[in-house]
Amino acid sequence: MELVNIFVRSAFADNMIFTFFFGMCSYLAVSKTVKTAVGLGAAVIFVLGITVPLNFLLETYILKEGALTWLGEEYASYDLSFLSFIMFIAVIASTVQLVEMLVEKFSPALYGALGIFLPLIAVNCAILGGALFMQQKQFNNVGEATVYGLGSGFGWFIAIVLIAAIREKIKYSHIPGPLKGVGMAFILTGLMGLGFLGFLGF
């Protein structure tokens, strides 16, 4: 029950794009056609689903104050949390690299679909944002963290696919010249964000 709660909340109410604007750069750059949007969205779900639990373990057993207690009582007072940014980004960058190599080796078909997007993801704010929010929300176990990662990824996926579908059609509308391109995409995202506020109960 708690897990369903976390999933729905992170996918809809706390949507990465519409409420936090995380990952906007690639969201705007890759949302011109639905096909590429689906590819990038799937890659984000995949990477968030792996890196959030990994970072959760890192946080709980190494970085947090008192996390090193499992090594022995004398380590209980160590607090490495100042390293969390650098460790999170290192985990993300290396996971992305590893996943890319593994996918290429074992599933060329999947690589064909996701491959070109994977390198883009290391600097996608949504991934680091997922890790930082995970740290803040103080989840109780890896399961919750994983579900949170998958939920956030799913929310990002919906957002980019929806906007891509609209942008494909909006080509046929008469938009004032200066608003063409990103300007219109911003307004659309804003309007969809207002719609998503409904999930919070506004």
Partner 1 sequence: MAINRDSNVYTLSFAALMVVLVGGFLAFVSMSLKPIQKANQTNEKMQNILQAIGIEETETVSRDEAGAIFNDYVKRRITIDYNGKILSDLGVADPINPQDKLDAFNIDIRKEYSKYIKPIMNANKGNDEKIKSELANNENIHFPLFICESNGNKYMVTSCSGKGLWDDIWGYIGFESDGKTISGAIFDHKGETPGLGSVITEDWFEKQFRSKSIHENGYSAIQVLKPGKNLDNHQVDGISGATFTGVGVDEMMGRSMEVYYNFVQSNPKVLN
Partner 2 sequence: MSEETKEALFSPKNKKLIAEPININNPVTIQVLGICSALAVTVQIDNALIMSIAVMAVLVIGNVLVSLMRNAIPSKIRIIVQLVVVAALVIIVSEVLKAYVYDVSKQLSVFVGLIITNCIIMGRLEAFAMGNKPWASALDGVGNGFGYGLVLVIVAFFKEVFGSGTITIPGFEKFHVIPQAFYDMGYENNGLMLLPPSSLIIVAIYIWFQKSKNPELIDEHGS
| 14 scored as a contact of partner 1 (CB under 8 A) | yes
Instruction: Report the residue from 72, 74, 106, 140 that binds partner 1 according to the rule CB under 8 A.
Output: 140
Cα 98–Cα 102–Cα 103 angle in degrees, nearest 5: 115
We find the least distance from the C-beta atom of residue 170 to partner 1, in angstroms, to be 30
| 80 scored as a contact of partner 2 (CB under 8 A) | no
- Which of these ranges, 24-32, 34-42, 133-141, 183-191, lies near partner 1 under the rule CB under 8 A? 133-141
Tokens encoding 77: 């007072």
| 160 scored as a contact of partner 2 (CB under 8 A) | no
Where helices occur in the chain by DSSP H, the ranges are 2-8, 24-29, 34-58, 84-106, 108-114, 118-121, 125-137, 142-170, 182-197
Which residues are CB-neighbours of 187 under 8 A, at least 6 positions away?
179
Tell me how far apart the alpha carbons of residues 48 and 36 are, in angstroms, rounded to a whole number: 18
| 136 scored as a contact of partner 1 (CB under 8 A) | yes
Tell me how far apart the alpha carbons of residues 141 and 7 are, in angstroms, rounded to a whole number: 14
| 83 scored as a contact of partner 1 (CB under 8 A) | yes
| 102 scored as a contact of partner 2 (CB under 8 A) | no
| 178 scored as a contact of partner 1 (CB under 8 A) | no
We find the least distance from the C-beta atom of residue 186 to partner 2, in angstroms, to be 4
| 29 scored as a contact of partner 2 (CB under 8 A) | yes
**Residue 9 touches which of partner 2, partner 1, none (CB < 5 to 8 A by kind)?**
none
Look at the block and give the residue holding tokens 């944002």: 129
Q: Which amino acid is at 196?
A: F
| 86 scored as a contact of partner 1 (CB under 8 A) | yes
